[in-house]
Amino acid sequence: MEYSVRTGAQVDPTARVGAGTTVWELAQIREGARLGDGCVIGRGAYIGAGVRLGAHCKIQNHALVYEPAELADGVFIGPAVVLTNDRHPRAIDPDGRLKGGGDWEPVGVRIAEGASVGARAVCVAPLRIGRWAMVAAGAVVTRDVPDFALVAGVPARRVGWVGRAGVPLEPCPGAPEAWECPRTGTRYRPAGDGLTEAG
């Protein structure tokens, strides 16, 4: 099955786009980018050179995914999200000379399977967003986010836990360190700084 590119989108010939992926108007996919099967790249979105997207990712309108970002399968990037790539950005060097591509070392945002980043959030690289974690709309993420964590604010802080369904988890009665999804009934337990499914 082929992928679909709408009129006005730009896909560099060296990019690899997976089967069933749709690239909407005015989106730009840069050289060497790799997109998995069944992705949706929204209107005006930017996918930087060499960026890696897994299968079934959704990059909403006007999101900016700068290299060297890596997104695993099933990642959601909301409208106007920015994944940065320069911890100390400057247009010029200390002598006033315009900086070029070789004058800095890009750092990336890595997002694990199933995680979501809400509209207009900014993720300041380098950092990792854990499996099935959720970043609230408008958050500014400056440090790693644990698996299944819900973070919000400026700077972002953990305000709860979410399950695979994206619904906030509730404490399990009689099990103080266990959490349960009210939608699916799945239970979660602590693992490192995050959670894992209880099995």
Can the peptide bond before residue 13 be classed as cis, meaning omega within 30 degrees of 0? Answer: no
Q: Which pLDDT score is estimated for 1?
A: 58
Distance CA 73, CA 143 (A): 21
User: CB within 8 A of 22, min separation 6: which ones?
Assistant: 3, 4, 6, 39, 40, 41
Domain 4-162 has CATH 3.40.109.10: no
- Summarised one tens digit per residue, pLDDT across range 51-106 is 999 999 999 999 999 999 999 999 999 999 999 999 999 999 999 999 988 888 99
Give residue 160's pLDDT: 97
- DSSP, res 168: B
**Per-position DSSP letters for 106-165, written without gaps between them:** ---EEE-TT-EE-TT-EE-SSEEE-TT-EEPTT-EE-S-B-TTEEEETTTTEEEEEB-TT
pLDDT for the residue numbered 9: 97
pLDDT confidence bin for 167, thresholds 50/70/90: very high
199 band by pLDDT with thresholds 50, 70 and 90: low
For residue 139 the two structure tokens come to 């958050």
Residue 9, H or E segment: none
Are 152 and 159 spatial neighbours (Cβ–Cβ below 8 Å)? yes
pTM: 0.95
- Please give the torsion angle defined by the CA atoms of residues 25, 61, 48 and 24, in that order, rounded to the nearest 10 degrees: -20
69 within 8 A of 54, measured Cβ to Cβ: no
Q: How do residues 100-135 score in pLDDT, each as one tens digit?
A: 888 889 999 999 999 999 999 999 999 999 999 999
Percent of the chain with pLDDT over 70: 99
Q: Where are the domains of the chain?
A: 4-162
The mean pLDDT of 140-158, rounded to a whole number, is 98
Distance of CA 187 to the CA centre of its chain: 25
